[in-house]
Structure 1
């Protein structure tokens, strides 16, 4: 009886097939579907579902308190973003060019220590500093700059100050990564040609840092939009953020639809900021800035 020829074994390939790729990606796909796709879909169906469908949006914006909260949230977040970019750029560039170890240690300590502190601890520290009989008011009276206590707490000033302090490390660290790709000799060369230090940095460093600045601003703005504890503690009822409005709708008024509309407005606003960043800078440059 003739012997059957042995079947040749398939040659080994480094590339996996489509089925193997789908199987390997399946756990992540299920995780994304459970934690991202379904919650977002549920949010949209609740916000635009019963009782009035798209009329829920009109009913939400017809309420003056809701529009005031949304306006405060977006405007104060924009102000915090500008302040963080301005201060963070100075600190990050100083860390990039300074050669003195003591200066670098001082700057790193000023950034990292608040970053590692708990939010509650930082907020109550600000409360002690800004209250009517706190440290700042005591210093103002001691210097003769104020006869009566200045209202520094439970207003938008306190909220912006607290948010800027908390978000500053989130601005410094990405900006420092972006500045490391820029040669400081460019600014020194501009100074050698007669430009002042500020003009040299503005003309040589800032144009090259635009993608990093925009990516950092997008990150800071989106995170700031969702803050809850800082506006509650430092602002009180006078400076509510949208997160406070959502909490109030869910746990006090039991109005889940209004809370879903508020969350949807925040989501659309965040996506709009990201879209503007892609449009102004470009996808590739913005991705490189974030990856840096």
Structure 2
């Protein structure tokens, strides 16, 4: 399989898709992997790893992003089991294969990302009437018109590893626009705070992908115009896999402390009035 040259052309925030992609590939390859992702494993040989990402990648990071993917998969599956004719919009989708893992029972799944990322996806994935690709920034309101009409409660909007790269005002702007069009829809996303504001944020800033939006905890979320339905602490979810913690055996204890518990939160919310 030929190497996709566009992967090396990515810079800034789009380049981070290689980190999460590699994390899923390695999880798929593990005998004790928490999920299987054969599609991303098939795409991976066509991509070019960027050595500049080495300082921010580690077994701990790999496990963290694998667990995050699994938690969001479970939330999506629950939504699909609750409603019929579900429409899913995955913002900042990168090379997500969630549609293939859990989403093929939906009415329509939209993968949205900036044009250079969608161009990369088109080289490894195939668009269909059910599984569509949208080349746009999540902050560009024109993509809202591409969402199929339907009852708002059936709509699921997902942003994995995205909002923390926006300014606080941009996050609020996005949520306000979503509320104006899709009031009552479900919005799944992750947010960072606590110790993530330290060394990890500095490393990403050196890669020209600075983290910009931080929260203290889930109590910051209602002020944005969202009703919080469920909160999952990623550090605490990671503790469900003690055999994978290695030198981080102390994490279960630390994950109860606010700076660690709130380092990464996964939130299921509703767009409310």
Larger gyration radius, structure 1 or structure 2: 1
- The answer to whether TM tops 0.5 is no
TM value normalised by structure 2: 0.27
Higher strand share: 2
Greater RCO structure (CA 8 Å; 6+ sep): 1
